[in-house]
Every structure is written in C-alpha cells, then in structure tokens.
Amino acid sequence: MSEVVPVEIRGVEFYAEVVGVEGPANVGLNEVMSFDGVRQTIEAIATELTAAWRTVRPDEAAVEFSLTLKVKEGKLSGLLVSGGAEGSLKVSLRWTGAKAESGGSAND
C-alpha cells in the first residue's frame, strides 16, 4: 500500500509517495514528515562506497541507486532492499591510466 505524504527538507515542503503505510503510527500521515531518515540512508550508502573507492582508487567513479520511501515507526525512511524485493545499485569504476602516463604514482 502506498500513500502521498508531505515531506520537509530545510524549510522546503514537497510531497512524496511512500510505501508500507499500514497499521498505527506514532506520527499521523497528515503531518509533515522529516527527510532525515532518507538523508541518513543516502549518507550511509555513500560512506561505504567512498571507503571502497579509496581502496581500489579508480580515476573516475559513479553510482546510481534508487530508494523507495517507506514509513517505519512513524518516520520517513529510505529503503534500498526489503525482504525478497529486488534492489538496484549500479556502480561504474574507470581507470584511465592517466597517472601512470603523467609520471604520477599509484600512491598519490
């Protein structure tokens, strides 16, 4: 089940469709919800990917992922994968060899 709810980020209000809106919640769905849980989800994913990139040291890196917005315990949250659901995370890493050609070392 999904529902459109008002969400606020730094004073800007918009609407988002959320899934998993079922049963009683601590916050009514007619109230503006904070985007903090979604931001924290994105930050956690980005932090882990950044750590991996520091290890493999690509010249370029890109990531694409999609989050489903979910209400959990009355709070808005980002959901990458749930239960048997399929998640999407596309990571592209590229090594151009430019450092080797320009005389730079792998430890720059």
SS3 of residue 6 by DSSP = strand
pLDDT at 15 over 90: no
Backbone angles phi, psi at 5, to 5 degrees: -130, 150
Q: Flag whether pLDDT at 95 surpasses 60.
A: yes
Per residue in 42-71, pLDDT tens?
A: 888 888 899 999 999 999 999 888 777 777
- Is pLDDT larger for residue 3 or for residue 94? 94
